[in-house]
A and B are shown apart, each in its own frame.
Chain A
Amino acid sequence: MFERVNVKLNVNGQAHELLVEPRKLLSDALREDCRLTGTHVGCEHGVCGACTVLVDGRPARACLIYAVQMEGHAITTIEAIAAQGRLSALQEALHEEHGLQCGFCTPGIVMTFEAFLRKRPDPSEGEIRQTLSGNLCRCTGYHNIVAAIRKAAARMRGEENHAGA
């Protein structure tokens, strides 16, 4: 049962060939085998949301998936969001609104909302807070994160200018 298996992962459009035990969590495989450490581990029981990645474009807790399950699926992690080093609208808004402090929960929040804002481009503050409820933050009290998400949503709808854009 400790036999490792070959697993082909598609992460951020790149192929990775892993040799891992079937029980290896996707969160660990991304961090250790793919060397993508932007996905963070906060609880390993699916509550804190720090490990959120996208699987076929939909947010998922990487700690509740075994790497071996992901053959044939497309995984997107935080490292793919800032294309060519340029921050996305959401990342930029988080920066402007001081929506992060220690930054440990931040990638999970970015991944959740990069997906959510594309499905729901004009959310109310209540909807934002409800969707954000799946990501725990101990530093910010969420106020600035919510403000950043509203700002990003407005910009993505084309309603506000980017600073300097």
Chain B
Amino acid sequence: MPGPEFTSIGKALPRKEDYRLLIGAGRFVDDIEIPGALVATFVRSPHAHARIVSVDVEAARGCPGIVAVVTGRELGEWTTKLRMAPPIEGLRPVEMSTLPTDKVRFQGDPVVCVIATDRYLAEDAAEQVVVEYEPLPAVTDMWQALQAEAPRVDEALSSNLVSHQTFSHGDPAARRREAYKVVEATFSQARQTHLPIETRGCVAVWDPGRQHLTLTIGTQAPHPLRTQLAARLRLTESQVSVVSPDVGGGFGQKIIFYREELTVAALARALGRPVRWREDRMENLIAASHAREDFCRTRAAVTKEGRLLGLELELVEDFGAYCFYPANYLARVVAMILTGPYKVQDYAFDVKVVLSNKCGNGPMRAPMAITSWVIEGTIEAIARTLGLDPAEVRRVNMLRKEELPYTMATGEVLEDITPRETFEAALSAVDYAGFRERQKRARHEARYLGLGICVVVESTTYGSRFYKAAGIPGSGHEAAWVRVEPSGAVNASVGLGPTGQGYETSLSQAVAEGLGVDPKDVRVHLGHTDIAPYGMGSRGARGGTAGGSTLYLAALDARAKMVAIAAHLLEVAESDIELKDGRFSVAGTDRSKSFAEVARTAYLDPLALPQGMSPGLDFSKTYDPPAMTYSNATHVCMVDVATDTGAISIERYVVAEDCGTVLSPVVVEGQQHGAIAMGLSGALFEQVFYDENGQNLSATLADYLVPTAAELPNFEVIAMHTPNGRTPAGVKGMAEGGVMGAIGAVLNAVNDALAPFGVVADRQPLSPQYIRALLRGKVAKEAS
């Protein structure tokens, strides 16, 4: 592994993507004109749970501009069902049709597809579709879902419990008996949704001459989507291309291959005409995918000094009505990494995932978002119970550098992390002791300031060994190619799916580093399954580690071959060649060959190449990163809580972070800001609100709230990066830890502010009415 003297990696270069996006010349799916394309729209269930008694599309078919109106029945002929049955302990297999024919399971479940010449006419016709429903009792709450007599969301299962996993290491029960105290704490995260500013949409074009389908779609995982699409349409993978252009945000919502998208593709083939679809914002809010809605309870066995002896976790997640994604996966990561930066080996968890009559869950940036709040909130609860300083309780339990590598109770190995260092740096940056003084004075004036700490250990990358060990089918490797063209131009590609994270820039820096050229001379091609090699897409903060490393390694191979050619042409040993400023020079002389000359020779003068060397400069590489890499950070949030209205204002936000070697510090800082913003958003504003009948009351942006610029603070980021010892350039991965840290930091800050009232906020979002509900009837104890 190279040292820190990178020439391209780590440079703060502005982004290549920006020009087209700034001038309005980005090419998002809807910007791409496909002549003759028809438009699809869906008729959706108004009920949370109901049998479909009959569907009458005759009136709709007769409306102006309508080309076709189809139901699940026709789609059942053109497509296969989806079977989600990974061989995972505790996970029940589930099956779903392309569009439901016998019953609907959530308000917004698509039932009929209307195809018209434009969206306005399609919506007019959609209003004429008559679906007769027989409403059924709905399950709208996770506790109700767990009850034996609850209505069954999926009748093929014997209950709504779709996944149940338990684990125990050491003897947590014995630690409880021995403990000075057993501290219990609860944590509830609301149902959320990803809310990319660009909703879901796609265009399907079937070429009957070539018998080939091209789907243009904003997706984070083009190749896996192609595999699924081909299978569901009974086509071979060579008959399908998936092209992902500019994408207006994904955050995990654009990984899953949705029923609407499959419907559109099937219709393009059946009708022999291109079909496009764009969901509107209301559909996106009620029927795309949801996330989170998890409840955790911890029991911590502790000594008088606050040292953790044992820890138990109970987690329940409300997964919604359909498993677009394996139901165990998201919750499992929480349980797997919960102990975070703390030393505790006697650990047990019980994780249940239930179905309900709500839109199904999918991974949302930091699916394990609740984790750091839970462990840090547990630490806070310990400190409160024992009357200790929460910073001290952390110090007592936190891993020291000398104790690494550390194998967690769950078998995860923590190495090359620096939680303690970021912790001390963050507290120093905010002058922790000084704040406690200010807080005390403020309390005398009935002003309630709070400071919250959240130490994050973020799992990133997820290599193949992780999937294998977890029993999850699928790979964590990545694939790339680097090609130097005859003119010396450099093209490269990798199987990631960008959705705004600046890969064209950061990955060109990885290639440039390996190859020894300027990043501006490297063009990275992404998102087209005919061009990019088969990759696993973008999720789990794997882009930098998996994608960047693979490209870097491929680029090193390219450089090695070019050095060999140059050495041969210049008749010296390879070790005498230096690559600098676009030229291969013989050290200590002025003899050289340009990058372009070497490239040209490789392609057009193969007889001049070294004996046995094949022509061309085309390099493919795959790389399987470590099972897991970890980044870490400490977040500190300072708030002022107005106790009369319950309003929370964030006064300051600081994060000290270590995310390993950073390909692009510009991109990484932006990702950190965005992740923190999303965490604060969930903690303070977001809630998908279903009433007791399963009606979604948060179906517009006036009801589903995310913060504006007026609600968020500036973010002070202290970079403390240390490399990972096992990845090619020391990259660790990041972009989800900010979500985890922000949730924990703001929740802990608010509880710190309200401590004089003896109340604890244990749920998100921290709406002002919830804060007032906690404070109602309470008085502040005199500040001592």
Real binding pair: yes
Query: Residue on A with the closest CB to B285?
Result: A43
Pick the contact of B249 from A21, A38, A98, A138 — CB < 8 Å? A138
CA distance A158 to B298 in the complex (A): 58
Given contacts A37-B30, A100-B18, A145-B709, contact A105 B197 (CB under 8 A): yes
If over half of A's interface residues share one DSSP class (helix, strand or loop), that class is named, otherwise mixed; here it is: loop
B670 cross-chain contacts in A, Cβ below 8 A: 98, 101, 139-140, 144
Q: Contact flags (1/0) for B493-509 with A, using CB distance below 8 Å? A: 00000011110000000
CB of A24 within 8 A of chain B?
Answer: yes
A98 and B667 form a contact (CB under 8 A): yes
Q: Is the CB of A78 within 8 A of B23?
A: yes
| Binding stretch for chain B, among A54-62, A67-75, A79-87, A115-123 | A79-87
Cβ of B3 to closest chain A Cβ, rounded Å: 27
Partner of A100, one of B22, B64, B198: B22
- Give B589-616 as 1s and 0s: 1 = Cβ < 8 Å from A's Cβ atoms: 0000000000000000000000000000
Which residues from B are CB-within-8-Å of A2? Answer: 64, 121
Complexed CA–CA distance, A21 and B15 (Å) = 41
B779 at the interface (CB under 8 A from A): no
A40 to B120, CA, bound (A): 18
Complex Cα–Cα for A107 and B248 (A): 12
A106 to B, closest residue via Cβ: B21
List of A residues within 8 angstroms of B709 by Cβ: 128-130, 132-133, 135, 137, 142, 145-146
The number of chain A residues touching the other chain, given as a range, is 35 or more
Chain A residues near B247 (CB-CB < 8 A)? 102
> Known: A102-B499, A138-B195. Contact between A107 and B24, CB under 8 A?
yes
Interface residues of B in 277-304 (CB under 8 A from A): 278, 280-281
The stretch among B415-423, B517-525, B710-718 that forms the contact with chain A is B710-718
Question: In the bound complex, do residue B120 and residue A79 qualify as a contact, i.e. CB atoms below 8 Å apart?
Answer: no
Question: CB distance B676 to A141 under 8 Å?
Answer: yes
Contact B21 A103 (CB under 8 A): yes
Complex contact B14–A77 (CB within 8 A): no
Query: Please, how many angstroms separate the alpha-carbon atoms of A142 and B670 in the complex?
Result: 10
**Beta-carbon contact of B714 and A103 below 8 Å:** no
B701 pairs with A45, CB closer than 8 A: yes
Chain B window 1-41, contacts with chain A (Cβ cutoff 8 Å), 1 for yes, 0 for no: 00000000000001101111111111010110100000000
**Chain B residues numbered 688-710 whose CB sits less than 8 Å from any CB in chain A:** 700-702, 706, 708-710
Interface size on B, residues (CB 8 A): 56
CB <8 Å contact, A110 and B22: yes
Please determine whether A35 and B33 come into contact, CB atoms closer than 8 angstroms.
yes
Residues of B within 8 A of A24 (CB): 120
B70 to chain A, nearest CB (A): 23
A103 x B281 contact (CB < 8 A): no
Pick from A23, A37, A42, A96: contact of B24, CB under 8 Å: A37
* Min CB gap A16→B, angstroms: 16
Q: Could you tell me the distance between the alpha carbons of A142 and B714 in the complex, rounded to whole angstroms?
A: 8
Q: How far is the CB of A85 from chain B (nearest CB, A)?
A: 8
Give the distance in Å from the alpha carbon of A136 to the alpha carbon of B681 in the complex.
Answer: 12
B251: shortest Cβ distance to chain A, in Å?
Answer: 7
A142 to B22, CA, bound (A): 16
Task: Annotate A1-19 by CB proximity to B: 1 below 8 A, 0 otherwise.
Answer: 0100000000000000000
Chain B residue at smallest Cβ distance from A45? B700
Query: Are A140 and B674 in touch, CB under 8 angstroms?
Result: yes
Indicate if A156 sits at the interface (CB-CB under 8 A).
no
Given A100-B21, A142-B677, A132 and B197 touching (CB < 8 A)? no
Are B15 and A98 in touch, CB under 8 angstroms? yes
CA distance A115 to B280 in the complex (A): 28
CA–CA, A144 to B677, complex, Å?
12
In the complex, besides A43-B281, A138-B249, A139-B674, 17 extra interface pairs with C-beta distance below 8 angstroms are A40-B248, A47-B701, A81-B23, A95-B22, A98-B667, A98-B670, A100-B22, A101-B670, A102-B500, A129-B710, A133-B708, A136-B197, A138-B674, A139-B249, A140-B673, A141-B674, A143-B714
In the complex, 29 of the A-B residue pairs with CB atoms within 8 angstroms, ordered by the A residue number, are A31-B30, A40-B28, A40-B198, A41-B278, A43-B280, A43-B281, A43-B701, A48-B701, A79-B24, A94-B18, A100-B21, A101-B500, A101-B502, A102-B196, A102-B249, A103-B22, A103-B26, A104-B28, A104-B196, A129-B710, A132-B708, A133-B710, A133-B711, A135-B708, A138-B195, A138-B197, A142-B677, A142-B712, A146-B709
